[in-house]
Amino acid sequence: MDENMLKIRILKPIDNLCDYTFNFCWNDSKLQPEDVIPSQEGTSFTYADLVAELKAGRDVCIDGNAGKRLAYSAGTDLKHLGGTGGTEKAGNIFVEGDVGPEAGMGMASGSIYIKGNIEEPWGNILEVTSDVEGYRKFRSITDLISNGPGKDTLKNNSLSENTLKLNDGILRGTVGARCNWQGIILVEGDVYNGTGVLMQQGTIMIKGDAGMNTGSHLDGGTVVVHGSVGEFSGAYMKDGRLIFINAKGYVGAGMTGGAIYSKKKVSTSPPAVKARLEKDDIELIRRTMETGRVESMLYNKYEPEKEKEKFVTVHMRDGSIVMRRI
């Protein structure tokens, strides 16, 4: 623990601290990077100051209670803010108090050390044995599976050579965000929103229900939900496969690639349309959903609607008419 780290004392819980998206500032102008963080004592740091420290690999200490969405998308070089869209190393966050819900949503690297309690749902983090006395330590799931646990030991969960098993009963969101690991993340229970967001390879298996935006922006790999998913699941998919029992609606909105499979017919949004179930699809469903062949054949498949070929009518000199592809 670096005694020279940036330290901010706050008098009440503040949301979106160390949030790399600045509460999605490109969609909501209520919070801007250069806004001064309210309820500080003796300092005038902005939201951008905290993120800049972490991006430089330096640690940040929050003296007080952190509100919602701490460290949102930490360790990512966001395209919306001029970055590459990839992951990057990040400093650590120390909290001298409690932490609100959705901490570590979309978090790709770095660690969070907490002296107090952390409220569910968590984000893409899990607890490991702490190397700093008096603090609980939480690491990004994506970082842990990509780079290995190192000297850290998982608490109440397990990691083998190619399988991370989460069975601690904690409700998490954005599990496996930006995952680029040829392994399996197995969750024994329900998950919150955004499972597998921006995932590139690997498999996420949910033995329960999943929230909204499951498999959104999926760019490879497979997300399997042995239950229902929330609204906008599979939205903006580019590649990969999403499989579930049922969905609440708006499935596949804006998707450009990949495939979605549902046991029950679901309400889709353009350009997602029903497609023909092929032999390989049936085998995939049978294997991942642990069903028989006949039941697997009853699933519905959805893909982005293929653009129809356009033709123009051409009148030839001999009086004939031909159709030419545009």
CB 114 within 8 A of CB 135: yes
pLDDT band at 26 (very low <50, low <70, confident <90, very high): confident
- pLDDT over 70 (residue 126): yes
Contacts of 313 (CB under 8 A, 6+ apart): 321, 322, 323
- Going from N- to C-terminal start, the domains of the chain cover 1-155, 158-304
pTM metric for this prediction: 0.91
- pLDDT over 80 (residue 6): yes
Arithmetic mean of pLDDT, 195-205: 97
Q: How far apart are CA 311 and CA 309, in angstroms?
A: 7
- pLDDT over 80 (residue 184): yes
For 158-304, the fitting CATH number among 2.160.20.60, 1.20.120.1200, 3.40.50.300, 2.40.50.100 is 2.160.20.60
What is the average pLDDT value for the chain, to the nearest integer? 94
- pLDDT for res 27: 84
Ranges 1-15, 154-168, 200-214: which has the least confidence? 1-15
Find the distance separating the first CA and the last CA of the chain, reported in whole Å: 65
CB 159 within 8 A of CB 175: no
- pLDDT for res 161: 84
Residue 109, CA atoms < 13 Å, CB-side half-sphere: 19
pLDDT band at 312 (very low <50, low <70, confident <90, very high): low
Beta-bridge partners for 166: 187
Residue 307, CA atoms < 13 Å, CB-side half-sphere: 6
- pLDDT for res 215: 98
